[in-house]
Amino acid sequence: SREEKSLHITFGKVLRKRRNQTGISQEKLALACDLDRTYISLLERGLRQPSLTTIFILANQLSLSPSAIIKEVEDFR
């Protein structure tokens, strides 16, 4: 649905913003999270949806709480 796609895109924008704020590359974030760099790119472009586990892992590597990421997605909309 359109709302789902909008959520994916918003999550991607928040992820990219937070990753850039920490000065970490997609590749370094992917390695730290044991994920593929391509997957990080797909998330940031809103082409993939992260699992709850992935949100927790990403948040941890970005020194955020998972709820902070979700709240930022909520506020962005």
pLDDT, one tens digit per residue, over 42-71 is 999 999 999 999 999 999 999 999 999 999
pTM above 0.85, yes or no: yes
Q: With CA atoms as reference, report the closest residue to 68 among 42, 22, 39, 58.
A: 58
CA atoms of 4 and 46, how far apart (whole Å): 10
> Does 24 score more than 80 pLDDT?
yes
Q: Which residues contact 4 (CB under 8 A, 6 or more apart)?
A: 49
Strand blocks (E) in 1-77: none
CA atoms of 10 and 8, how far apart (whole Å): 6
CA atoms of 65 and 36, how far apart (whole Å): 22
* pLDDT for 76: 86
Average pLDDT estimate for 9-30: 97
